[in-house]
Amino acid sequence: MSDWDSRKKEERKIKSYISANPPNVQKLKERVWMENGLLSTREDPDQILTCPNYEEAIRDYSQINVDILRSFVHFDGYKKITPELLQSYRNDLTRVIVALLHEDRSLYYYQGFHDIVEFLLLFSHFDVHWTYTFMKSLTRAYLRDYMQSNFDEVEKLLQCLFPLLSLRAPELVPILQIAVHTPLHSFR
């Protein structure tokens, strides 16, 4: 392999680490400090080494992390999996959620979103690519209204709750009105 070919190969590696979602900072650090790691002074090592991590890239990362720590404990095989495998499952869950939110910055995370992704990971036998693709379609088609910065669209749906219940199950309406403060009250 000629020197030119090896430089091109190295350049492709570095660019793939930069363009990964999230950027592979560890591999970048290894490549940057290797002999011939950077191909020219056009590459800015400070910019490469300060790629944003999950916490910086996703505004709701702390809530996502809290929810993920409670994931994969309510399915049949939970007691049989090792802590390492559980961590691997949680990493996959994090990757899918963060990738979805990173791709569409207009979406906001809500508690319960991780449950949907978790179910699909279990259903697909931890096929991350399938789960990501399915969730991307599901989010665009059905969940987008619930992932906005405010609850305007959700409130519209909740306002339909009691009229629909009164038509379908009128005996439930007085029980719900007396026993429970509906989520609708928290929006006003």
Mean pLDDT of 15-26: 79
Give the N- to C-terminal CA distance of the chain in Å, as an integer.
69
Extents of the domains making up the chain: 1-40, 61-146, 151-187
pLDDT tens column, 103-161: 898 999 988 899 999 999 999 999 999 999 999 999 999 999 889 888 888 788 878 88
Of 7-16, 93-102, 118-127, the range with the lowest mean pLDDT is 7-16
The set of residues, in sequence order, having a beta carbon less than 8 Å from that of 184 and lying 6+ positions away, is: 155, 158, 159, 161
Token output for 127: 């096929």
CATH ID of 61-146, from 3.90.470.20, 1.10.8.1310, 1.10.3720.10, 1.20.120.530: 1.10.8.1310
**Cα separation of 82 and 97, whole Å?**
23
Mean pLDDT of 76-94: 88
**Cα separation of 170 and 168, whole Å?**
6
Write the DSSP assignment of 51-84 as a string of letters: ---HHHH-TTHHHHHHHHHT-S-SSGGGGGS-HH
- Residue 22 pLDDT class (50, 70, 90 cuts): confident
